């Protein structure tokens, strides 16, 4: 009996795998790697593209950040060519640049592949430079040029009864927080442990896990100091390649009084957040979608999840969007890059143009909530009136702080996240920890 | 007094069984939960509504759910099947040849045998590092062949070892009789030894299959796209910075788990013999 | 005649020899060599000889120290727990009605691919919606941050490892108990020996060699722990749940690409494994087992 079962199983398997190989037709197959937040939109665009061009098959593979980044680096280092097109994170520009095709050169060399209606001047200069260019070379097409935004429960912030209680307790009006100090107070008010009347269990959802997430959370607390008049005079203007972590001449800026202040604010806020050290992107999304918290700093594209949440219906009444307290969110998001090791560069380049052309830039915003990259899209009335995010988007993007995007970024990030996480969980003294990061960073940059 | 002790014993046993079974139960029910039950408090222990949407990619309806649908899992499933199957057959073949040589002719002696054991003990990460560099020079990265070779390094010692214990149980007079009849060594091996050790061959093949199917680290390092990645990697890539889509994740986990678990249960006794270097014969 | 056969016996071993020379011996020496260089995959430069620098760096590396510490904790806590619990369950199930039913449930965890186990535990440990915190709330314990608290994250990884590998210990020892001669047990009970005495003087001597074998296999395997950490905690918070294997992966093949340094770490790990393997070879009594 057992033997018969085994033979049957093996036979099934053989037939199945034989089918698998014979079904692979002789078309061009493009491998597109995507971060999870872009995957649905890219998948949709890929399906449309294949419908128009049946000889090109496109396989969109979503990979989580911690998986995608090492894999791109691996491919860049060894030239394997495992992907043709990938989304690369804005902060990884320097690290991945070596492996990406110079698109302007490519366009000149292959005029037959260029889309005549593409309109290369339709990009805002700042967006083009940040999400498309490294070291003067065009290594990507801006796809999802995002910044973080501050989402809050509009229904609670506007509820007269709640407002009265807040005023009675703190002696001032309940308003959307402009600074992190105000946020601490409001977060306390919305935490049931400190206020049994609170409609939510916790005030704010924070993500300080042991992943790259923590590396972008620190700047939204540090940048308000780094970019204040005092900070500018102390550290100099922000160099966009080195970002807010550094002074204008590439020295660590955070191992200072200001850096310690930022981390102390993070520690204070943690008392009003559900499991901040154990939560990542996905968890904070669920906290907010399920009504567990009243506020959350999150990315532009999470809107689609909030819209789908049963507990946040109707979304126009329940969710408000503002710029980050302290005024300086962090920049992020993605560009589409073409792998130097790809065997199908022409087809890949055509698809990249298709995915970012005027029509589809608008389409991916309206359907999937991804940030518009083109000027024509932001000027479109339908886009402007689409949802509450558009009111603050321009301001947030203009004021956004930056992470370093130099080639040494992966190492800097791993060192920083490790120690920052240690400081937040209380096992390392803030000042000592920040000094330790600075010391190791200097060593990495000198090598 | 006696019966109280008996009852206590069963309660204890029940508690332990719950501990060992609960995570599996949770995975199974989550795979069939509707999206509103994924994040509920108190957690839904006995769901009343079921869906297969988690497998089809229709449940949850937004952000990334199509990415976890069954239709996107199939390339990984077929990679897993090919890799595990080829590993199993190749490690059986290589293992049986060597095992015969060791069992009958004691080639290499203790040194050879100890060497085989130490390969089993080798931490995969220590092998992965140089293998990665080697395969990148050979242009073999991101191919199924690279994982198969990597898996063979770890499964063949097992296979050889177990087959030695099987071959030792076959009376030597049988092959000697064949030699006297003028049969060559290979002929003796194929027509006398192999048929008699069919259960052993099946055992090593299944063991290698199970190991290869669940292996994560080497596959993680050596492969990077759907052309060569196996199911564990398919799961591994959802784990950070992703919407915590528990239903589809659990569904994908179930697809990964069920074949190999069935296999393991059938081959239980050999599994043990392999894992303990034949110290347990069962 | 005999030598002629022996020569062709070596021929039969060729495929294995090729595999092992090519994919273990050569890479092993390659790795030792590269551990004395600054080989870095992301640098695109020819590696330079740096002598013992990589090995010296290990002693200043706090994360390396932390990962060694956690790995030692696993050896000192997880493995003994698995041994004791496995032994206990083996005796318990040996002594109840419906042995095979209980047995087949208890062995399930070891048959699951570790990655899938990781997904299950990640769900169970969830702070806000996870069943573990729900169970604990019955005992008046407020939600525990299983992934965000350094101590609890370590406890969490240990529990997951105990969950997955106790069944292995159990299965080995249980099968050992099956081979205890029934008449010995009966003789002991006729002599009026207590249950404890029977276990101590009848069962344990029979399964003692198996206890050693399974202990060493677990010790070596726990040094390799990677999958569960990758899936459940991602090494965090801080570097609390970095194991040696996980740290080598990070340094060498994901964020660092520092092959030289990662090789130096691997060489040290290998030395520990080789020592343990030697013990195993002695305990297994290889000569007799293989009839050499």
For residue C222, which of C77, C65, C63, C59 has the smallest C-alpha distance?
C77
Whether the CB-CB separation of A351 and A59 falls below 8 Å is answered with no
In this complex, which of C108, C209, C289 lies closest to B20 when CB atoms are compared?
C108
Taking contacts as CB-CB distances below 8 angstroms, the residues of chain C near A96 are: none
C260 in contact with B, Cβ within 8 Å: no
Domain boundaries of chain C, sorted by first residue = 55-289
Taking contacts as CB-CB distances below 8 angstroms, the residues of chain A near C233 are: 210
CA C58/CA A334 separation, integer angstroms: 36
Q: Identify the pLDDT of residue C2.
A: 57
Q: Number of A:B CB contacts under 8 A?
A: 112
Residue with tokens 């990984």: B76
Domain count, chain A: 2
What residues 217-246 of chain B have any CB closer than 8 A to a CB of chain C?
217, 220-221, 231-232, 235-236, 239-240, 244, 246
Taking contacts as CB-CB distances below 8 angstroms, the residues of chain B near A9 are: 263
Q: Are residues A213 and A319 in the same domain?
A: yes
| Tally of residues, chain C | 292
Contact A421/C250, CB-based, under 8 Å? Answer: no
Q: Are residues B85 and B10 in the same domain?
A: no
Taking contacts as CB-CB distances below 8 angstroms, the residues of chain A near B202 are: 3, 6
CA C247/CA C10 separation, integer angstroms: 40
Q: Are residues A173 and A315 in the same domain?
A: yes
Both structure tokens of A212: 């790259």
B38 Cα to chain A: minimum distance (Å): 10
Q: Are residues A162 and A278 in the same domain?
A: yes
Q: Identify the pLDDT of residue A310.
A: 85
Q: Identify the pLDDT of residue C1.
A: 46
Instruction: Name the domain boundary from B43, B66, B89.
Output: B66
Residue with tokens 């949440």: A309
Q: What is the mean pLDDT of residues B154-161?
A: 88
CA C288/CA B164 separation, integer angstroms: 12
Question: Which of B279, B281, B282 should one mutate to test binding to chain C, selecting the residue with the greatest count of C CBs within 10 A?
Answer: B279
C153 Cα to chain A: minimum distance (Å): 9
Both structure tokens of B131: 């293998």
**B159 in any annotated domain:** yes
Taking contacts as CB-CB distances below 8 angstroms, the residues of chain A near C48 are: none
Q: Are residues A197 and A303 in the same domain?
A: yes
Instruction: Name the domain boundary from B14, B47, B66.
Output: B66
Q: Are residues A161 and A246 in the same domain?
A: yes
CA A79/CA A98 separation, integer angstroms: 10
Q: Identify the pLDDT of residue B134.
A: 85
The domain C55-289: what is its CATH number?
1.10.3720.10
Structural element, H or E, at residue A61: strand A56-62
Residue A17, preceding bond cis, omega within 30 degrees? no
**A251 in any annotated domain:** yes
Most confident of A7-16, A387-396, B25-34, B170-179: B25-34
Q: Are residues B93 and B125 in the same domain?
A: yes
Whether the CB-CB separation of A244 and A222 falls below 8 Å is answered with yes
Q: Are residues A301 and A186 in the same domain?
A: yes
Residue with tokens 């390969």: B119
What pLDDT digit, counting tens, does each position of A243-267 carry?
Answer: 999 999 999 999 999 999 999 999 9
Whether the CB-CB separation of C219 and C75 falls below 8 Å is answered with yes
Q: Identify the pLDDT of residue A308.
A: 83
Chain B neighbours, 3+ Cβ pairs < 8 A: A, C
CA C289/CA C292 separation, integer angstroms: 8
**B241 in any annotated domain:** no
C155 Cα to chain A: minimum distance (Å): 14
A22 has pLDDT over 50: no
Cβ density class A296-310: b for 16+ within 10 Å, e for less: bbbbbbbbbbbbbbe
Q: Are residues B124 and B202 in the same domain?
A: yes
Q: Are residues A142 and A231 in the same domain?
A: no
Neighbours of B11 (CB within 10 A): 10
Neighbours of B22 (CB within 10 A): 17
Both structure tokens of B200: 């052993």
What pLDDT digit, counting tens, does each position of A367-407 carry?
Answer: 888 899 999 999 999 998 888 888 899 899 999 999 999 98
What pLDDT digit, counting tens, does each position of B169-226 carry?
Answer: 888 888 888 888 888 888 888 888 888 888 889 888 988 998 899 999 999 989 888 8
Q: Identify the pLDDT of residue B241.
A: 59
B225 Cα to chain C: minimum distance (Å): 16
CA A340/CA C23 separation, integer angstroms: 30
C187 has pLDDT over 80: yes
Which comes out higher in pLDDT, residue A56 or B70? Answer: A56
B273 in contact with C, Cβ within 8 Å: no
Q: How confident is the model at residue A3 (pLDDT cuts 50, 70, 90)?
A: low
Q: Which residues are CB-contacts of A319 (< 8 A; sequence separation ≥ 6)?
A: A151, A152, A153, A154, A306, A312, A388
In this complex, which of B104, B121, B189 lies closest to C277 when CB atoms are compared?
B121
The rounded mean pLDDT for chain A is 91
Nearest CA in chain A to C130: A283
Contact A43/B66, CB-based, under 8 Å? Answer: yes
Taking contacts as CB-CB distances below 8 angstroms, the residues of chain B near C257 are: none
CA C150/CA A307 separation, integer angstroms: 35
Domain span at A294: 148-331
Both structure tokens of A172: 């001032």
Q: Identify the pLDDT of residue C116.
A: 94
Taking contacts as CB-CB distances below 8 angstroms, the residues of chain C near A66 are: 234
Residue with tokens 């198996």: C210
C168 in contact with B, Cβ within 8 Å: yes
Domain span at B170: 75-235+249-275
**A285 in any annotated domain:** yes
Question: Which of B28, B108, B121 should one mutate to test binding to chain C, selecting the residue with the greatest count of C CBs within 10 A?
Answer: B121
Give burial (CB, 10 Å; 0-12/13-18/19+) of C151: exposed
Q: How confident is the model at residue A6 (pLDDT cuts 50, 70, 90)?
A: low
**B243 in any annotated domain:** no
**A363 in any annotated domain:** yes
C86 in contact with B, Cβ within 8 Å: no
Indicate the pTM of the whole model.
0.90
**CATH (domain of A356):** 3.40.190.10
A21 has pLDDT over 60: no
ipTM: 0.90
Both structure tokens of B144: 């199924």
In this complex, which of B22, B123, B279 lies closest to C284 when CB atoms are compared?
B279
Q: Are residues A63 and A192 in the same domain?
A: no
Q: Are residues A294 and A370 in the same domain?
A: no
């Amino acid at each position: 009996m057992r033997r018969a079962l085994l033979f049957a199983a093996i036979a099934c398997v053989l037939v199945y795998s034989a089918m698998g190989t014979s079904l692979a037709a002789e078309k061009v197959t493009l491998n597109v790697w995507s971060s999870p937040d872009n995957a649905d939109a890219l998948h949709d665009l890929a399906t449309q593209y294949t419908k128009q061009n049946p000889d090109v098959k496109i396989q969109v593979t979503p990979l989580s950040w911690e998986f995608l980044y090492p894999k791109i680096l691996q491919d860049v280092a060894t030239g394997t060519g495992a992907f043709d097109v990938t989304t690369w994170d804005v902060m990884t520009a320097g690290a991945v640049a070596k492996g990406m095709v110079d698109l302007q050169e490519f366009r000149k060399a292959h005029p037959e592949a260029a889309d005549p209606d593409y309109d290369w001047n339709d990009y805002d200069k700042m967006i083009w430079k940040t999400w498309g260019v490294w070291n003067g070379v065009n290594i990507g097409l801006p796809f999802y040029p995002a910044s973080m935004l501050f989402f809050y429960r509009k229904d609670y912030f506007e509820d007269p009864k709640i407002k009265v209680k807040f005023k009675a307790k703190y002696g001032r009006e309940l308003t959307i927080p402009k600074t992190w100090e105000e946020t601490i107070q409001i977060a306390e008010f919305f935490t049931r442990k400190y206020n049994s009347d609170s409609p939510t269990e916790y005030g704010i959802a924070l993500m300080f896990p042991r992943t790259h997430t923590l590396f972008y959370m620190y700047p939204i607390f540090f940048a308000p100091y780094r970019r204040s008049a005092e900070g500018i005079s102390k550290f100099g203007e922000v160099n966009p390649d080195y970002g807010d972590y550094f002074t204008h001449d590439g020295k660590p800026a955070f191992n200072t009084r200001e850096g310690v202040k930022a981390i102390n604010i993070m520690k204070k806020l943690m008392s009003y957040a559900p499991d901040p050290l154990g939560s990542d992107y996905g968890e904070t999304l669920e906290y907010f979608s399920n009504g567990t918290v009243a506020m959350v700093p999150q990315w532009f594209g999470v809107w689609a999840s909030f819209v789908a949440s049963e507990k946040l219906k109707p979304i126009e009444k329940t969710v408000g969007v503002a710029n980050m307290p302290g005024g300086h969110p962090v920049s992020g998001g993605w560009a589409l890059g073409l792998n130097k090791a790809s065997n199908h560069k022409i087809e890949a380049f055509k698809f990249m143009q298709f995915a970012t052309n005027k029509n589809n830039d608008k389409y991916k915003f309206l359907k999937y909530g991804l940030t518009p990259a083109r000027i024509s899209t932001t000027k479109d009335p339908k886009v402007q009136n689409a949802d509450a995010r558009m009111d603050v988007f321009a301001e947030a993007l203009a004021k956004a702080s930056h992470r370093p995007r130099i080639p040494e970024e992966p190492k800097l990030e791993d060192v920083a996240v490790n120690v920052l996480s240690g400081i937040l969980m209380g096992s390392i003294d803030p000042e000592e920890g920040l000094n330790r990061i600075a010391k190791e960073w200097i060593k990495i940059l000198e090598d | 007094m006696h019966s109280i002790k008996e009852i206590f014993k069963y309660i204890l046993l029940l508690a332990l069984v719950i501990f060992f079974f609960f995570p599996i139960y949770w995975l199974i029910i989550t795979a069939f939960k509707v999206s509103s039950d994924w994040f509920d408090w108190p957690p839904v222990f006995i769901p009343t509504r079921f869906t297969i949407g988690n497998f089809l990619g229709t449940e949850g309806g937004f952000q990334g759910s199509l990415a976890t649908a069954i239709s996107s899992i199939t390339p990984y499933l077929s990679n897993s099947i090919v890799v595990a199957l080829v590993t199993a057959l190749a490690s059986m073949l290589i293992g049986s040849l060597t095992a015969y040589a060791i069992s009958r002719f004691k080639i290499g002696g203790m040194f050879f045998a100890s060497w085989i054991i130490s390969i089993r003990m080798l931490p995969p990460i220590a092998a992965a590092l140089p293998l990665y560099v080697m395969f990148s020079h050979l242009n073999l990265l991101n191919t199924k062949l690279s994982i198969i070779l990597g898996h063979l390094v770890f499964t063949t010692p097992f296979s050889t070892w177990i087959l030695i214990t099987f071959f030792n149980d076959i009376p030597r007079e049988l092959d000697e009789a064949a030699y006297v009849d003028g049969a060559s060594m290979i002929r003796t091996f194929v027509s006398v030894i192999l048929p008699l050790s069919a259960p052993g061959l099946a055992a090593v093949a299944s063991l290698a299959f199970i190991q290869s199917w669940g292996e994560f680290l080497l596959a993680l390092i050596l492969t990077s796209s759907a052309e060569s990645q196996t199911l564990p990697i398919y799961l591994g890539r959802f784990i950070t910075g992703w919407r915590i889509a528990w239903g589809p994740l659990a569904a994908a986990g179930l697809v990964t788990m069920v074949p190999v678990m069935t296999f393991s249960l059938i081959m239980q006794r050999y599994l043990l013999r392999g894992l303990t270097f034949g110290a347990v014969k069962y | 005649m005999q030598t002629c056969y022996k020569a062709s016996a070596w021929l039969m071993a060729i495929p294995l020899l090729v595999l092992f020379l090519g994919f273990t011996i050569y890479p092993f020496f390659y790795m030792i060599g590269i551990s004395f260089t600054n080989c870095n995959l992301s640098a695109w430069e020819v590696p330079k000889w740096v002598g013992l620098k990589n090995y010296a760096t290990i002693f200043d590396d706090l994360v390396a120290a932390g990962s060694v510490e956690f790995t030692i904790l696993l050896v000192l806590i997880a493995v003994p727990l698995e041994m004791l619990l496995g032994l206990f369950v083996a005796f318990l199930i040996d002594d109840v009605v419906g042995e095979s039913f209980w047995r087949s449930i208890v062995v399930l965890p070891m048959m699951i691919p570790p990655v899938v186990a990781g997904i299950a535990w990640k769900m169970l440990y969830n702070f806000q919606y996870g069943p573990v915190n729900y169970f604990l709330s019955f005992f008046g314990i407020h939600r525990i941050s299983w992934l965000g608290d350094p101590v609890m994250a370590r406890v969490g990884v240990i529990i997951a490892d105990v969950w997955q590998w106790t069944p292995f210990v159990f299965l080995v020892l249980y099968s050992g108990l099956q081979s205890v001669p029934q008449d010995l047990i009966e003789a002991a009970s006729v002599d009026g020996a207590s249950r404890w005495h029977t276990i101590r003087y009848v069962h344990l001597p029979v399964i003692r060699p198996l206890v050693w074998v399974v202990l060493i296999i677990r010790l070596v395997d726990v040094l390799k722990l990677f999958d569960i950490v990758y899936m459940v905690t991602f090494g965090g918070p801080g570097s609390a749940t970095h194991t040696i294997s996980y740290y080598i992966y990070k340094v060498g093949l994901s964020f660092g690409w520092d092959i030289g340094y990662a090789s130096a770490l691997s060489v040290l790990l290998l030395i520990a494994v080789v020592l343990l393997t030697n013990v195993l070879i002695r305990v297994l009594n290889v000569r007799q087992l293989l009839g050499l």
